[in-house]
Amino acid sequence: MTLIAVSAADLADRYPIEDGRVRPHKTLDGDGFRIRTLVMDAGAVLREHRAPVPILVQVASGRILFRVEGAEHDLAAGGAIQVDASVPHEVEAVDPSHVLLVLLGQP
């Protein structure tokens, strides 16, 4: 058992926002998965890229625009999206945000 955070506020305290930055933090690695916490200041963009494995993205706090396959999804706290391996996607923080990224499987 590993306690990651007791609340969104706890997660935000553990991983503070940095001015103008996107910062990934290694949160937990397990058998067949990796979890990263992406900390994004408002206006920060994680430019289009691809993940080598399927991913699950969930907004813990804040609001992001998630662009994938020609669509833009406006995700607020609690919002989540799954993307298959090798599908190009981009993330932009509308507000200061904490985003959980779960990489499913090993590359």
pLDDT digits (tens, 9 = 90+) for 47-100: 999 999 999 999 999 999 999 999 999 999 999 999 999 999 999 999 999 999
- Whole-prediction pTM value? 0.93
Q: At the topology level of CATH, where does 8-104 sit?
A: Jelly Rolls (2.60.120)
Of 67, 29, 30, the residue nearest 46 (C-alpha):
67
Domain boundaries, the chain: 8-104
Ramachandran angles phi, psi of 29, nearest 5° = -115, 135
